[in-house]
């Protein structure tokens, strides 16, 4: 059987790397993108090597997702190398505006060009990649587009523009699902909780927004949930919906490292339906 093919954007580290590694462990060929050149030893190349070491095939591709030409070149490469096959797109790329650490400044005191990062990359770049992915998936009548979104859709989290971008991702998945349904291509959005990224672990903080970091999800855990979605026999019914990773993991019987079951943050963000 030919290995399934995935593209994970923004996969040098954090959630993107964790998703790519989980796919690698399931035998996938995974294209990973990151900004700038990707010399030997760079985080992007190291992440691709981790995918290969896990049992799949990792392919590092330097791509600035603010540049539509670079994105088109990326998808042409995938099409050429994989015979037009793309089974999964994971929209994960994200960019923080300069001086945005802490997300504590109110929107009217921030520069207007915060929009360029949080909407231009955090939303528009996902739309552009989804367009290119659909052009490969629709003719083959198969594929999944998964957005890494956030509880910022439901409640104020980090900043106004952050919440706008995440709400846009969820609505995008919902509406794309309607137009892709006749072609058997599916779309979803997922909400991870607090994730034990390299940056968070290096910071030494014990809790974030009252949630213990020790109970947080690992990046690999998010990837396992994406793997579960791809193989879910009821995926066609789930298409267009948004899901909490911790809740899907319980449904799929997935546990995190050391058998942990990360908590859902749904109640802390108001409870009720997701999207």
Residues labelled catalytic: 162
Query: Quick one: which of 165, 191, 180, 190 has its CA closest to 265?
Result: 191
Query: Quick one: which of 255, 250, 226 has its CA closest to 238?
Result: 226
Contact residues for 205 (Cβ-Cβ < 8 A; gap 6+)? 213
Q: How far apart are CA 251 and CA 215, in angstroms?
A: 19
Q: How far apart are CA 90 and CA 84, in angstroms?
A: 17
Q: How far apart are CA 11 and CA 150, in angstroms?
A: 17
The full DSSP string for 89-133 is: EEE----PPTT-TT--S-GGGS-TTHHHHHTIIIIIHHHHHHHHH
- Looking up tokens 């400044």 gives 105
């Amino acid at each position: 059987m030919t290995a399934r093919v995935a593209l994970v954007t923004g996969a040098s580290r954090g959630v993107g790397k964790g998703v790519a590694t989980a796919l690698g462990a399931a035998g996938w060929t995974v294209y990973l993108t990151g900004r700038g050149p990707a010399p030997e030893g760079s985080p992007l190349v190291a992440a691709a090597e981790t995918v290969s070491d896990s049992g799949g095939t990792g392919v590092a591709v330097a791509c600035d997702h603010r540049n539509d030409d670079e994105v088109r070149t990326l998808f042409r490469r995938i099409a050429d190398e994989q015979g037009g096959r793309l089974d999964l797109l994971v929209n994960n790329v994200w960019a923080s505006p300069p001086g945005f650490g802490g997300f504590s400044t109110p929107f009217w005191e921030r520069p207007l060009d915060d929009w360029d990062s949080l909407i231009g990359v955090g939303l528009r770049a996902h739309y552009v990649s989804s367009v290119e992915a659909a052009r490969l998936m629709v003719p083959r009548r198969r594929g999944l587009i998964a957005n890494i979104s956030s509880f910022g859709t439901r409640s104020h989290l980090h900043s106004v523009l952050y919440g706008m971008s995440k709400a846009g991702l969820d609505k995008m998945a919902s509406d794309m699902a309607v137009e892709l349904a006749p072609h058997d291509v599916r779309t979803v959005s997922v909400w991870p909780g607090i994730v034990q990224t390299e940056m968070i672990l290096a910071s030494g903080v014990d809790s974030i927004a009252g949630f213990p970091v020790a109970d947080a999800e690992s990046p690999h855990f998010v990837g396992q949930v994406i793997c579960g979605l791809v193989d879910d026999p009821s995926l066609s019914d789930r298409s267009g919906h948004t899901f909490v990773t911790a809740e899907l993991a319980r449904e799929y019987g997935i546990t995190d490292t050391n058998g942990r079951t990360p908590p859902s943050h749904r109640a802390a963000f108001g409870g009720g339906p997701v999207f």
